Amino acid sequence: MTQKTRNLLTLPAIAIYIALVLAFPLQPDIRTTALLACGAYLLLLSAFVLWRNRPVSQNVLIGELIADLVIAGAMVFVWLRTTA
């Protein structure tokens, strides 16, 4: 997935975050929930793009896996920070 495509597909994730935060302003952990929802959306989107564009070169696959690991790491960090 090119960077331009990834940036365009990130816009719905930002919209999801804003919609959740504005829809439930009194919920104490809504920002955490919204960030986890955005991360799940991006991981599912990345998996779908990889599945749809088979076969992919090894460099593209490694780049996508690194991006997915960064997203998953951020999700785990947010989750651990809120449970502590």
Say how far apart CA 80 and CA 54 lie, in whole Å: 34
1, part of any domain: no
Tell me which residue range forms the domain holding 57: 31-84
Cβ–Cβ < 8 Å for 62, 41: no
pLDDT the model gives residue 12: 86
Spatial neighbors of 10 by CB under 8 A, at least 6 apart, are 42
CA distances from 53 to 4, 20, 24, 29, 46 (A): 16, 31, 37, 36, 11
pLDDT the model gives residue 44: 87
Q: Provide the mean pLDDT of the chain.
A: 84
8, part of any domain: no
24, part of any domain: no
45, part of any domain: yes
Two structure tokens written together for 47: 């998996």
72, part of any domain: yes
44, part of any domain: yes
pTM comes to 0.72
Q: Count structural domains, the chain.
A: 1
